[in-house]
Chains A and B, each alone.
Chain A
Amino acid sequence: MRLQGLLFALGVLLSWCLPGIASAADLRAEVAIDRETMGIGETLALTLAVTREGRGPLPEPELPNSVTENFDVSGCGSRQSSQTHLVGNSIRMVHTRATECSLLARREGTFKIAFSVSDGHQTFNSNLVEVAVSAAPAVPTASAPGERPSEAYGWAFLWATADRERAYVGQPVHYQLDFYYTQDRRRRFGAALRAAPSFQEFMFSHELPAVEPRIEEVDGVAYSVETISRRGLIAASAGTYVVSPAEIEVRGKGVVRSAPVTIEVLPLPAEGQPPGFAANNVGRYTIDASIDRTTLKVGQPATLTIQIAGTGNIDLVDPKPWPELDGLRRYDPKTETKRDTGERLGGVRRYEFLVIPERPGALTIPTHELHFFDPEVPGYETVRTVAIPLEVEGTPLVDQNPETPGTASAKTEDQSDTASDGDLPLIPIIAAEALPRTAVVEPWLTFARWSYGMLAVPLLAGLSLGGGFLWRRFGPDEAARLRSRNRARRRSLIDKARSAVRDGEGFHTAVATLLQELAVERAGPEGVGLPRLQLAALLGRRGLQSTEIAQWERLLDRCDRARFGSQAPPVHGGSSDPSAPGGRSNDSQSEREAFLEDALKWVRSTSAWPGAMR
């Protein structure tokens, strides 16, 4: 078995090695291009490959001179790969080493491309390919300022334009560079800006807000358009200015260029120029003044806002010195500039002054003029603010800061500025001989106590409601409460009888009431108000033994005798009202004690009655 396994492994190894050894000398060089014709500025993909069947070193292909002399080479990369082919019973291994480059044609003509590699003593030549390079396509140029392209320029082109060819010093010129490319051959993600337009000749170059990508149809061709650059360009001196061309390379396609843009800058005319005119004030502006309040008190600060708005180089607008404000103190302004996000260079420049009236009365914020050169006219213009009247109340500040004898209002040198800064003087310190000590009583209701008190309320309310619920659920019912009341009444009557044993006053009444109520309780609701005989009969029907009924009647009769004497009502058929008034009995205390014991014995026996309520 072991021998068989060894032979099998050897067989597999030989079948793998022998074909490779057989084809070791098969080396092949090959050149490939992705197109045979191209224009100057377009790119060509070149591949140089060396392939060997079987094992052995793979030489690296080198670019031939015909390529390096006539093309710009970029983006070269090398790769190796191996393939296994099963042909009949044999396995063939093919190894490939390839170099890929991007070629940009420099000149017109037809160029042959081939290369060779050597493998030891042998040289292998590749196939020969030819590329015909034609002249560069025309760079699209706008014939008029701001013109849009009217002719399609192939798969992609750059369109550079300015909104004017001629401008004045300080006048913004709006430059825009758009990249047009056809949608079906879009390779935008592979595009790179090779050369950006240069604005160095201009003194100011403000970037304008970007424009969203869009689709434009040019001469029947739909192009995707992306704005590469939008600038507001301002020249500081007269002359001819040129924005250099831009270049964009699209990987695998080529390079597109824009046309240079030339602008002639004219000096500002001397005619009509206001004296001291600021050369940066070129554009079209408005000026406006406002104040946050027109009725003030002396020393009360207010905010005066002067706003210059319009198109032009708003950042450099020079408003010239602000006028003096009579009766008002003015501080340095806070300046804020907001550029427009629209098509034109412009915006709003805002000056916020803090002003403080120093004297009462009718004051005025005077007008302020702004001179500017309007290139659209062209000519010099003047705009001005409207005067703002103010009503100021109070007394002049200088009179409100007297030196009060005996107070601490004397100022050091440093404070003299502070005192004259438009404020009322401070109330002086209170000079006492000693510091009054007040025993400040801490409030009883601290936050902790308050919290505990507040939390206790729902807690106790919950406990109460829960307790009430449990009492109703598990506490005594109505019958139990009735029994409880009866027992209490009974105990009360017994106590009353006991207390009356000594002098006999009310003794028999209490005992009679006790006996009667017990009998009625046993007899039930039907027994209420019955004469004694009917009650006794009813008790008999309720199951009481005759001896107990007789004992009850005997006890009641004795009570009646004691209470009413010879006028005692007849036992049979008489009223059973135990609460009828009765006088003091003539029996002795011992007799009453004995009688009470008898009555209590009967009372105790009632607890054993059938159906007695406990």
Chain B
Amino acid sequence: MGAQHVGMARSDAMRANSASLSWLIVVAILVPSIARADAVDDAFVRGNQAAQAGAWNDAVSAYEDAVAMLSRDNALLSFNLGTSYAELGELGRAMAHLSRAASSSNEPSPEVLQSARENLERVQRRIELQSAASGAMLDPPPTSWEAVMSALGAPVLAWLALLSGWAFLVLLLARLWRRSIQDAYDGVIGAILMVLAILFIGLGSLHWAAIRSNRVAPKAIVIENMVPAREGPGHHRKQEFVLQGGSRVRIVANTPGWSQVRLSSGVEGWIPQASVGLLEGSRIPPPSTLSGAPVARKT
């Protein structure tokens, strides 16, 4: 009996030890992420306070700290950061961050979405003003073709093409296996198969083309205010034109340190990689120094 008691007590103690160990592991896992969450919030609040005080450089620094700690974009943070950049006159970066704030992939709240759209419109106007005053090249307004290509890349189109294809397949198999169905509704089934095939091939091809064009030449925004575009990668190459910050471009090629960009008008040039930020994906590089920039020179 005594030995039994000793054994039971020992097993209880071991069970308690293992439970404690489990708790320790859970706490060890959770604490850093909680701490990181606090640090992000701290940076965010710090940025808000600086922005409310009009210290836009400090606000941008704090927001960039918060962005660096997050693994993915946050719509509210991108909005505040983009707005701060706009206040500093960094219109290219403002455009890039506000675009991310308004991106549906970041699931902005209605308030953030509305505010981001309005600020995007106003920043765009300032950019046009700068471009008109400086003569720098700005991407032309989006054409209807670009709108079509953008719509073709929507997930709903992907689903529609995919479901059409599989419905086509199911109906085709049913038709093959059940001759009686084929005989009775041959015309109807044939018409449905035709429609499904057209949807599958047509929508699928268009969606694929839209997605592929985005992957081959991803959309980006020129984040520096005035960027000389050269005929080749390298500062020694001839300058072709000057790109206005905030211009929407596509990156068609990359070499170490340089990106070949194309405007929707078809004009191409090479600019430093640090001067351009992707609309989606990698982090937009912060500027080396922060300073306000005049928008235009008044006569």
Listed in ascending order, the chain A residues whose CB lies under 8 Å from chain B are 299-301, 303, 329-332, 334, 354, 356, 406-408, 410-412, 414-415, 417-418, 421-438, 440, 443, 445, 447, 450-451, 453-454, 457-458, 460-461, 464-465, 468
CA distance A435 to B105 in the complex (A): 17
Contact flag A468-B106 (CB < 8 Å), given A429-B80, A445-B158: no
Is B102 in the interface zone, CB < 8 Å from A? no
What is the minimal beta-carbon distance from A77 to any residue of chain B, in angstroms?
44
7 A-B pairs within 8 Å (CB atoms) are namely: A331-B297, A408-B87, A412-B292, A427-B118, A429-B59, A433-B41, A435-B77
A301 — which chain B residues lie within 8 A by C-beta? 125, 128-129, 132
Q: Which parts of B76-105 form the interface with A (CB within 8 Å)?
A: 76-77, 79-80, 83-84, 86-89, 105
Flag if B105 contacts A440 (CB, 8 Å): yes
Write the chain A residue with the least CB distance to B81.
Answer: A429
CA distance A436 to B115 in the complex (A): 16
Flag if A423 contacts B122 (CB, 8 Å): yes
A408 — which chain B residues lie within 8 A by C-beta? 48, 51-54, 59, 83-84, 87
Flag if B40 contacts A435 (CB, 8 Å): yes
B52 — which chain A residues lie within 8 A by C-beta? 406-408, 410, 429, 431
Our pick among A332, A407, A417, A461 for the contact of B299 (Cβ within 8 Å) is A332
Flag if B204 contacts A454 (CB, 8 Å): yes
What is the minimal beta-carbon distance from A440 to any residue of chain B, in angstroms?
5
Flag if A434 contacts B155 (CB, 8 Å): no
Write the chain A residue with the least CB distance to B161.
Answer: A454
Listed in ascending order, the chain B residues whose CB lies under 8 Å from chain A are 37, 40-41, 44-45, 48, 51-54, 56, 59, 66, 72, 74-77, 79-80, 83-84, 86-89, 105-107, 109, 111-112, 115, 118-119, 122-123, 125-126, 128-129, 132-133, 135, 155, 158-159, 161-162, 165-166, 168-169, 172-173, 176, 200, 204, 207-208, 211, 215, 291-292, 294-299
Flag if B87 contacts A461 (CB, 8 Å): no
Write the chain A residue with the least CB distance to B126.
Answer: A423
A414 — which chain B residues lie within 8 A by C-beta? 88-89, 291-292, 294
CA distance A429 to B89 in the complex (A): 15
A423 — which chain B residues lie within 8 A by C-beta? 122, 125-126, 129, 295
Flag if B106 contacts A440 (CB, 8 Å): yes
Flag if B173 contacts A464 (CB, 8 Å): yes
CA distance A605 to B74 in the complex (A): 84
Our pick among B44, B125, B128, B165 for the contact of A434 (Cβ within 8 Å) is B44
What is the minimal beta-carbon distance from A364 to any residue of chain B, in angstroms?
19
Flag if A443 contacts B297 (CB, 8 Å): no
CA distance A9 to B166 in the complex (A): 99
B106 — which chain A residues lie within 8 A by C-beta? 440
CA distance A435 to B46 in the complex (A): 12
Given contacts A421-B296, A425-B122, A457-B165, 11 further A-B contacts (CB under 8 A): A299-B125, A414-B292, A415-B87, A415-B89, A418-B294, A423-B126, A429-B48, A429-B59, A445-B158, A454-B165, A454-B200
Flag if B162 contacts A450 (CB, 8 Å): yes
Flag if A412 contacts B56 (CB, 8 Å): yes
Contact flag A457-B166 (CB < 8 Å), given A354-B129, A465-B176: yes
A429 — which chain B residues lie within 8 A by C-beta? 48, 51-52, 59, 79-80, 83-84
CA distance A330 to B298 in the complex (A): 7
Contact flag A331-B133 (CB < 8 Å), given A440-B107, A464-B172: yes
Flag if A431 contacts B155 (CB, 8 Å): no
B109 — which chain A residues lie within 8 A by C-beta? 436
